[in-house]
Amino acid sequence: MDFTLTQEQRMIHEYGDRISKKFDHDYWRGYANKGEWPAELYGQIASDGFLGLMVPAAYGGSGQGMIEMTLFMEGLANNGIPMLNLVVGPTMTMGLLAKHGSEDMKRRFLPDGCAGKIKFCFAITEPNAGSNSMAITTLAKPDGSGGFRLNGQKVFITDANTADYALVVTRTTRREEVQKKSDGFTLFMVDMKHKGVSKTLIPVSFPVPESQWQVFFDDVPLTQADVLGEVGKGFRILFDTLNPERIILSGLCTGIGRFALKRAVAYANERKLFNNTPIGAYQGIQHPLAIARSEVELASLMALKAAWVFDSGLPAGEFANMAKYAAAEAGIRAVDSSIQVFGGNGFTKEYGMYDLYGLVRLLRTAPLNREMVLNYIGEHVMGLPRSY
Ligand SMILES: Cc1cc2nc3c(=O)[nH]c(=O)nc-3n(C[C@H](O)[C@H](O)[C@H](O)COP(=O)(O)OP(=O)(O)OC[C@H]3O[C@@H](n4cnc5c(N)ncnc54)[C@H](O)[C@@H]3O)c2cc1C
């Protein structure tokens, strides 16, 4: 077994070190506080060729995989630039299009997506279904002449305002009418500029550049050319976008954890109290940081394993869920322990440590909450009975 990164992978992981010289954590915070899309940074990432990491060269990408995407995200977050907007577009949508899109669809979306000319969002969550995705009711009803009419409502859709297209999880056959509850799902690429699409902002209470939206579809016409995968069989490919989401967000959490710890260590070495001793010498400060660092590194390893399993074409659910669980918990503990090091300064705008907490804490709840992740591991990995 060889844990060494290739030269290319190292370069991808270290991209965050380089780009943060121009677009640093303060740049990110500025946009996070305004809740605005960091267009210049996104444009730079596009022109440096990193949006298309999971897209074959023939469609404008660089033909890498989930491992490289995870390294890329982690490297940015290591430097305090946790780019949530790289999750729904370049990873979830472009990754799925590259793997399961028709030739026509790949040509339609991928080159412009890689160049940053068009952007994407991903919509599965509904107010009345929540964690129970089987219960979604957004319906793309066949219109009798080969097309569909889309009606329904999605909630918490990240970047719905800046996205040109949404990858929307729908039912084309209602749940009551299918034999197996996972039948009847269809994935569509929906033009967000269509007049039947409307949205309202959901303000969130932590600073992040990406905004969240409730999205309504009112009789939006769709064609067969908008179907990603096969009609009625969307569930079979859905986890080729949901597992990458869990894996890349693991990289985001471990990166934020490392960034917080780096700052905490600098502060703990500097701040001297009692006998002119740096507070970092106290084990009450040092051990929580050392534990957090160990947990972050363990989670990071699991994220890369999950990415490797996904890239190898093997079932990735087990490791993607474990990585997401471990990384969210490690990230939360790392940020929490780091805030403690800063004393009162942990809560000031000047130091900005508390600002990191909301984002990393989100990842215990979304994209799949900790309880559903543990349900999956308990049931599908360990063979325990289902309780819900
Ligand atoms: C900032 C943000 C961004 C998001 N971005 C997107 C996006 O881009 N696209 C998208 O589609 N969705 C997105 N989401 C939605 C997110 O995936 C959901 O909020 C999340 O899956 C939880 O669903 P819910 O909010 O309906 O909670 P619910 O399903 O109502 O669950 C509430 C709580 O109940 C518990 N629970 C639920 N079921 C079980 C069970 N079976 N066993 C034990 N405990 C259980 C869990 O603790 C859970 O946290 C986003 C959410 C947020 C907050």
Mean pLDDT of 50-68: 98
123 in contact with ligand 1, CB cutoff 6 A: yes
The tens digit of pLDDT for each residue in 187-231 reads 999 999 999 999 999 999 999 999 999 999 999 999 999 999 999
157 in contact with ligand 1, CB cutoff 6 A: yes
Q: How confident is the model at residue 142 (pLDDT cuts 50, 70, 90)?
A: very high
Q: What is the mean pLDDT of the chain?
A: 97
**What's the pLDDT score for residue 258?**
98
158 in contact with ligand 1, CB cutoff 6 A: yes
CB contact burial 270-305 (16+ within 10 A = b; e otherwise): ebeeeeeeebbeeeebeebbeebbebbeebbebbbb
Cβ neighbours for 43, distance < 8 A, ≥ 6 positions apart: 116
**Architecture of the domain spanning 121-232:** Beta Barrel (2.40)
184 in contact with ligand 1, CB cutoff 6 A: no
Q: How confident is the model at residue 379 (pLDDT cuts 50, 70, 90)?
A: very high
Mean pLDDT of 145-169: 97
Report the nearest atom of ligand 1 relative to the CA of 127: 26
- First-to-last CA distance in the chain? 39
The tens digit of pLDDT for each residue in 263-284 reads 999 999 999 999 899 999 999 9
Helix (H) / strand (E) element for 350: namely: none
The tens digit of pLDDT for each residue in 88-116 reads 999 999 999 999 999 999 999 999 999 99
| Number of Cα atoms under 13 Å in the Cβ half of residue 145 | 2
User: Cis peptide before 385, with omega less than 30 degrees from 0?
Assistant: no
- Cα dihedral across residues 20, 22, 25, 28: positive or negative: negative
Report the nearest atom of ligand 1 relative to the CA of 160: 8
Q: How confident is the model at residue 41 (pLDDT cuts 50, 70, 90)?
A: very high
Closest C-alpha to 248, from 288, 291, 203, 303: 303
What stretches of 52-184 adopt beta strand conformation (E)? 120-123, 139-142, 148-158, 165-171
Mean pLDDT of 158-185: 97
**d(CA 60, ligand 1 centre) in Å:** 34
- What's the rounded Cα separation, in Å, for the pair 186 and 236? 10
125 in contact with ligand 1, CB cutoff 6 A: yes
129 in contact with ligand 1, CB cutoff 6 A: no
- What's the rounded Cα separation, in Å, for the pair 353 and 338? 8
Could you say which DSSP state residue 384 is in? P
**What's the pLDDT score for residue 45?**
98
**d(CA 126, ligand 1 centre) in Å:** 9
**What's the pLDDT score for residue 342?**
98
Closest C-alpha to 91, from 126, 64, 131: 64
88 in contact with ligand 1, CB cutoff 6 A: yes
Phi, psi (rounded to 5 degrees) for 167:
-85, 110
**What's the pLDDT score for residue 304?**
98
**d(CA 202, ligand 1 centre) in Å:** 14
By residue count, the chain amounts to 388
Alpha helices in the chain (DSSP H): 7-19, 25-34, 39-47, 66-78, 85-86, 94-100, 103-114, 235-270, 283-311, 317-341, 355-365, 370-376
- What's the rounded Cα separation, in Å, for the pair 76 and 61? 19
The tens digit of pLDDT for each residue in 331-358 reads 999 999 999 999 999 999 999 999 999 9
**What's the pLDDT score for residue 348?**
98
Class of domain 236-381: mainly alpha
Cβ neighbours for 374, distance < 8 A, ≥ 6 positions apart: 325
Could you say which DSSP state residue 159 is in? T
**In this structure, which topology does domain 7-119 adopt according to CATH?**
Butyryl-Coa Dehydrogenase, subunit A; domain 1 (1.10.540)
Domain spans of the chain, in order of start: 7-119, 121-232, 236-381
